[in-house]
Structure 1
Amino acid sequence: MTRSARRQHAEVAHATGRRLGPGRADRREASFDWLALVFTAVACGIAGALLWCALAPSSAAAGLAHVVFRPLCHQLPARSFHVAGGVLPVCHRCTGLYVGLAAGAAAAWCGWWRAPTSRAFWAVALAPMLVQVGTTALVSPALDWVWLQTASGAWFGGLGAWAVVRSLRRRPASRTALDVKDGDPWTTKTTTCRV
């Protein structure tokens, strides 16, 4: 347990009048770290599956990837990357989204930036994709560029994965697991933690 975590643990125990057993908060925090690690592994696994499909398009694994991604993406060959004579199992935007998921989850483990705290974060993450889809549909299909689809998907996937992992890793488990009293400096009126 880090020094700041021990201090927070002691302050919460003092404010609530409850004493946690040794290591209890550490186990809770480790469980959230474990969940963040699983999320990161799944995101990197999806990106790895796409890379495998690009490197070995005629393999059985590539065929399985096409079946797995079929419910998630339209898989139109005209809107998908063609690599080494094969077609990736997802479209340009989904390719960017999945690569962004892996990159964002990995970046969150590096500790870059702070965890998101507002809805404005999600608006900023989703805005490029909405603008690109809206201008394509309303203005001109000629603006439907491959790089723009891929970049908007990567932007949303990266920020989304980063936010999920950072939120899981920064979750103050020792404070949220306790029943805290109103007026506790660590809580708001809805008895949720301020970070």
Structure 2
Amino acid sequence: MKATRLAIPDVVLLEPTVYGDARGFFLESYNRRELGQVLGMQPEFVQDNHSRSARGVLRGLHYQVVRPQGKLVRVVRGAVFDVVVDIRRGSPTFGQWIGTELNADAHTQLWVPPGFAHGFLVLSESADFMYKTTDYYAPEHERCIAWDDPDLGIAWPDDVIPVLSEKDRRGAAFRNAELID
């Protein structure tokens, strides 16, 4: 597995070793020991999630203020533009964001530590998005930051018109959001 620390060093892009031939391919999508070695810590995952979304669906920017979740995210069908925002008040990268394309062909994954808001925009006709979390979903603690917040200035791909849920339409401005200390 190749691990690349991104502009926010706590966020890590993971590229698994893929073994392929005319029959297809094989890869380890999760190896506890190897992930712990590349991250320098061992996340404990408690929940797996799978969503399917049509082109243009934008989910996010979601996070939990209590019991924040670390996430190991990947796309198993299609492609998304994946975004994380550092919402840890004491962090040197507080308020900064990273966006990267994740797609099924590249098999890349992204480690999103606790303390980050997360979202994605579907670039393909549809996408299956899977992720492991380090804490359980707690709807009473879930919050949402507006995907188009001008203070964050996220450069979403402009060739896809976002389709939002009602919850995501009501996302808070970053400057007014309840964040993580």
Q: Specify the TM-score bucket, using the shorter chain as the normaliser.
A: under 0.3
Greater helix share, structure number: 1
Normalised to the residue count of structure 2, the TM-score between the two structures is 0.20
